[in-house]
Amino acid sequence: KTRPVFHWKPEPVCAHRFLCVLSYWLTRWIELEGRSKGLKLTAEGALERLRRVNLYELGIPGVSVRWWDLKELRAEERGVADALGVENLVVDLPTGLA
């Protein structure tokens, strides 16, 4: 059952419902997959552990210089990533000036 959505056209309503179902599915998948691998966290707890993981692209307007930075994972972040089967959380991107 879904609550009323206040949009004027059917397309935004359909998109809103799609995003709601997708977010629900993703939340349940995180919880069930994590639980099956021994992770004793809710989806909210798992995402909170991964909150610090960010990939930054810094650029200078008008200049073709970019800087990539990814913070190294701590043990608790690596544990959540491993339990969810996210093997390549750290991707091979150029570091430093590109």
User: Higher model confidence: residue 90 or residue 31?
Assistant: 31
Determine the pLDDT at residue 26.
93
Average pLDDT over residues 6-20: 81
Least reliable range by pLDDT among 13-17, 52-56, 62-66, 93-97: 93-97
Distance CA 86, CA 44 (A): 17
Q: What is the pTM of this model?
A: 0.62
Answer yes or no: is pLDDT of 96 > 80.
no
Q: 54-93: per-residue pLDDT in tens? A: 666 666 677 666 665 666 778 888 889 889 887 665 555 4
